[in-house]
Amino acid sequence: MKKLLFVLTLMLSTTLAYPQSKTYQLSSHILDISKGMPASDVPIRLEKLDADKKTWSAVAEKVTDSNGRISDFLSAESANEGIYKLTFFTAAYFKKQKIESFYPFIEVVFEIKGSKHYHVPITLSAYGYATYRGN
């Protein structure tokens, strides 16, 4: 009985000490190519298209970290197939730097098929941007 209690206590303490890390299916990144630096503190909204109603519904809104990244969109624990839109709210980012810019926000629409990881970054300057499917 003492051995069983010891094993259970050990298992419980190990589980609490090393929690399972959650995985995510979608991440994003902004690189300000005019400075060669990540763009931090930029809000990004994720929305999903309801194809029948032809409307977008909000999924999440997050802010880029000091490396210009958001790594925790869409938990991989659920099925996420569908058409999504990331809106990068760039106006305040440039205004804070006292830089005039052309795009107040940038919308990137893409489709998730299957369970692979999707990385949707943008490279950004005050008068242009590019996007691609990263990994």
Q: Give dist(CA 117, CA 115) in Å, integer.
A: 7
Check whether 19 has a pLDDT greater than 70.
no
The CA radius of gyration of the chain, in Å to the nearest whole number, is 20
The tens digit of pLDDT for each residue in 61-82 reads 999 999 999 999 999 888 899 9
pLDDT range class, residue 10, cuts 50, 70, 90: very low
Q: b/e for 36-74, b at 16 or more Cβ within 10 A? A: eebbeebbbbbbbbeeeeeebeebeebebeeebbbeebb
Tokens of 122: 């943008």
- Is 132 annotated as contributing to ligand binding? yes
pLDDT range class, residue 14, cuts 50, 70, 90: very low
CA 1 to chain centroid, in Å, comes to 48
Report pLDDT for 2: 58
Report pLDDT for 78: 86
Report pLDDT for 57: 97
Tell me the pTM: 0.82
pLDDT range class, residue 88, cuts 50, 70, 90: very high
- Is 119 annotated as contributing to ligand binding? no
- Is 129 annotated as contributing to ligand binding? no
The tens digit of pLDDT for each residue in 115-130 reads 999 999 999 999 999 9
